[in-house]
Amino acid sequence: MTDYLLNAYPGLAGKLRKRSFAALPTPISHHEVELPAGTVSIAVKHDDQTNAIYGGNKIRKLEYILQRAEDRGAERVATFGAVGSNHALATAIFAKEFGLGCTCFLAHQKQTPNISRILDTHLQLGTELVRYGGGTNRIELYRRYLQNRKTWVIPLGGTCWLGVVGFINAGLELASQIEAGDIKVPQRIYIASGTMGSVAGLALGLALANLPTEIHSVRVASNQFAKQDVLDRLMKKTATMLNRLDPTIAIDSATRTRIIWRDEFYAGGYAIAGDATTRAVDFARDYLGLTLDTTYTGKAMAALIHDLESGNDGATTLFWNTYNSRPLPVIDHENLPLRNLPEQFEQYYE
């Protein structure tokens, strides 16, 4: 059974449902790498393989969120992101799998190589794409696209207490893999942090498992979305909600988390890649066999490399790969219903 949270707290049975479509547990691989400072050991947690159709960290959150939408009688879900958002695409993919319509409110971002393919996948899925931000009238958009449509609204990045629960399950999953001997207790985990839901849940899960591991939360989004005080409130709210469902879940678990906030690899903006990020993506490909992106996981890998090069104490270091590794379908853009593409998004095909 891969519901590690329910295994640990059976009192949640019937109170916290999820739609199980993640392939859990995700595997852990081990790598020995030669650096100028000597040989280092790097373990990788492969959340890139959470589903055979589309992987990444969002799948864990959507298991709980889509179940809640279904339980509340929703016929459609809506969410938010940038045009290249992995969260928005994952939501659209699995909403269609479960017979739900999907509206994605998308904002402009810096051009990256994969955006046109992501938009083509949305068009093939039939996602309702809506230009968002940049002076658009949000109230008018909400009335037009949400009102009277039986829509369940999913926050940016799937970050809400229910989404956080998906990564509490991940923390307890890692504890189970440690107990099974798949990995030693890591001293440090490196993970990209955008809207912070994955970090919040992982930290709470490790606290509930009484593991001393530090989580290095590598910021990739602006301070509008990623703030330490907001992270603290998110963890406290999640712990409180779970405690209400099962009083045996420690309500003070948020005070026992071990999070190291890392700002120095932000590189000046969302989807902006500095030299350290580009180097880290190349390093991951050449030495770990990983395909990373420069928006999220490349920045987390840059922090890991920096720390290992600054001094290797022989401790177990774990990189949590949150980037989907499943290939997007090859789609003929000209045969898609281009009327569904907002005019403002045509620039991503230039």
Query: pLDDT digits over 20-34, tens only?
Result: 999 999 999 999 999
- pLDDT on residue 350: 87
All domains in the chain, ordered by first residue:
4-57+160-321 (3.40.50.1100), 58-158 (3.40.50.1100)
Per-residue pLDDT tens digits for 36-75: 878 899 999 999 999 999 999 999 999 999 999 999 999 9
Q: Which of 119, 114, 145, 107 is nearest to 340 (CA)?
A: 119
- pLDDT on residue 1: 64
- pLDDT on residue 311: 82
Distance of CA 271 to the CA centre of its chain: 15
| Reported confidence tier of residue 12, pLDDT bands at 50, 70, 90 | very high
Per-residue pLDDT tens digits for 182-197: 999 999 999 999 999 9
| Reported confidence tier of residue 86, pLDDT bands at 50, 70, 90 | very high
Per-residue pLDDT tens digits for 223-258: 888 899 999 999 999 999 999 999 999 999 999 999
pLDDT above 80: residue 318: yes
Phi/psi at 125 (nearest 5 deg)?
-70, -20
What average pLDDT score do residues 162-170 get?
98
Contact by Cβ (8 Å): 116, 349: yes
- pLDDT on residue 144: 96
Distance CA 238, CA 250 (A): 11
Helix (H) or strand (E) segment spanning residue 134: none
| Reported confidence tier of residue 315, pLDDT bands at 50, 70, 90 | confident
What average pLDDT score do residues 294-322 get?
92
Contact by Cβ (8 Å): 299, 267: yes
- pLDDT on residue 5: 97
- pLDDT on residue 312: 67
Contact by Cβ (8 Å): 260, 216: yes
Q: How many residues does the chain have?
A: 350
| Reported confidence tier of residue 208, pLDDT bands at 50, 70, 90 | very high
CA geometry: angle 157, 160, 161, nearest 5 deg = 145
Which residues, other chains included, contact 23 with Cβ-Cβ below 8 Å and sequence gap of 6+? 49, 50, 51, 52
- pLDDT on residue 223: 81
- pLDDT on residue 313: 67
Distance CA 42, CA 317 (A): 5
Q: Which of 17, 96, 82 is nearest to 53 (CA)?
A: 96
Strand-pairing partners, residue 41, are: 32
Per-residue pLDDT tens digits for 90-144: 999 999 999 999 999 999 999 998 999 999 999 999 999 999 998 889 999 999 9
Q: What is the mean pLDDT of the chain?
A: 95
- pLDDT on residue 192: 98
Written as one letter, the residue type at 226 is A
